[in-house]
Amino acid sequence: MTHRRRGLLITLEGGEGAGKTTAQQFIYDWLRAQGRSVTTTREPGGTPLAEGIRNILLDAKGEMAPATELLLMFAARAENIAKIIEPALGQGQDVLCDRFTDASRAYQGAGRELGLAAVDALADWVHPTLKPDLTLLLDVPVEIGMERVGKRGAALNRFELADTAFFERVRHGYLEQAMREPDRFVVIDATQSLNEVQTEIQSALEAVCGGEHCG
Ligand code: Z5A
């Protein structure tokens, strides 16, 4: 009996304006050029229900307790995993996900100061065996990221309205997570030019695609 190869789960992380959306297209194109099938998704979001939860979470006029925010992130994640991520991986497709559980560790665990234990308990319950094969962390100082977001000209969402101290905690939360899991994370200095950022992303992709489950 032949077993279909499971795809790779690649996640993109970073603070506001780090360049994830810009990087996602580059990664998609690169993986496709290797002849790989790729599904893209984002969090919170990815399915109609999860996109509905996203709207509630991002509504600038909305207010919610930090615990509510964390639980809604995992409610959306449970949908995305069940409907998009697991089926695609099981069919041998790579999944490129714009943010995943590390965002909950950084934003809710560190930013909202709920702590890692609460996030890890939910992660253990919602996706006990699912872990990214590669996490690209686009790291940018808070003021540079906010400047980029400001230049975008779009209305700010509920997260983007937070104060600088919140974003500093988020950034440190991400960097601490990367230090804890150096085999999974690749930290990229996102203050570099787009070309330089893409060169580093490509090296990380080549490394993970050199593994036994790529080809
Ligand atoms: N959130 C959470 O709290 N907990 C969770 O568990 C999850 C999420 C999953 C929505 O995420 C919110 O949900 C998010 C965290 C929270 N907070 N917010 N907001 P999102 O990913 O959808 O939203 P976002 O982080 O704000 O995405 P973004 O604003 O689109 O940022 P980005 O994708 O990282 O940046 P970009 O759009 O690619 O680039 C921003 C601008 O910078 C753009 O004009 C680019 O042309 C420019 N750019 C990009 N790279 C460069 C370089 N290298 N040089 C110069 N300029 C550049």
The tokens for 214 are 């790529």
Ligand 1 atom 17: residue of nearest CA: 159
Residue-wise pLDDT tens digits, 27-46: 999 999 999 999 999 999 99
In this predicted structure, what is the pLDDT of residue 46? Answer: 98
The answer to whether the predicted template modeling score (pTM) of the entire model surpasses 0.85 is yes
Domain assignment present for residue 175? The answer is yes
- CATH number of the domain that 148 lies in? 3.40.50.300
In this predicted structure, what is the pLDDT of residue 213? Answer: 47
2, β-bridge pairs: none
In this predicted structure, what is the pLDDT of residue 215? Answer: 46
Residue-wise pLDDT tens digits, 184-204: 999 999 999 999 999 999 999
Domain assignment present for residue 47? The answer is yes
Contact 74, 100 (CB under 8 A): no
Span from the CA of 120 to the centroid of ligand 1 (angstroms): 23
Report the distance separating Cα 43 and Cα 206, nearest Å: 25
Which residue has 């930290």 as its token pair?
187
Span from the CA of 3 to the centroid of ligand 1 (angstroms): 37
The tokens for 179 are 């230090």
Helix (H, G, I), strand (E, B) or coil at 191: coil
Span from the CA of 58 to the centroid of ligand 1 (angstroms): 13
Is it the case that residue 211 has pLDDT exceeding 80?
no
Domain assignment present for residue 118? The answer is yes
Residue-wise pLDDT tens digits, 4-17: 679 999 999 999 99
Mutate to test the pocket of ligand 1, among 21, 24, 137, 171 (most ligand atoms within 8 A of CB): 21
Residue-wise pLDDT tens digits, 121-174: 999 999 999 999 999 999 999 999 999 888 888 888 999 989 999 999 999 999
Domain assignment present for residue 4? The answer is no
Span from the CA of 148 to the centroid of ligand 1 (angstroms): 9
Domain assignment present for residue 1? The answer is no
Count of structural domains, the chain: 1
Domain assignment present for residue 171? The answer is yes
Atom of ligand 1 nearest to the CA of 15: 25
Query: For residues 90, 184, 21 and 124, what is the CA-based torsion angle, rounded to 10 degrees?
Result: 60
Domain assignment present for residue 44? The answer is yes
In this predicted structure, what is the pLDDT of residue 177? Answer: 98
Domain with 77, as residue range(s), is: 9-208
Q: How many CB atoms lie within 10 A of CB 33?
A: 8
Quick one: DSSP state of residue 5? Answer: P
Q: Between 48-58 and 66-80, two packed helices, what is the crossing angle to 10 degrees?
A: 160
Domain assignment present for residue 215? The answer is no
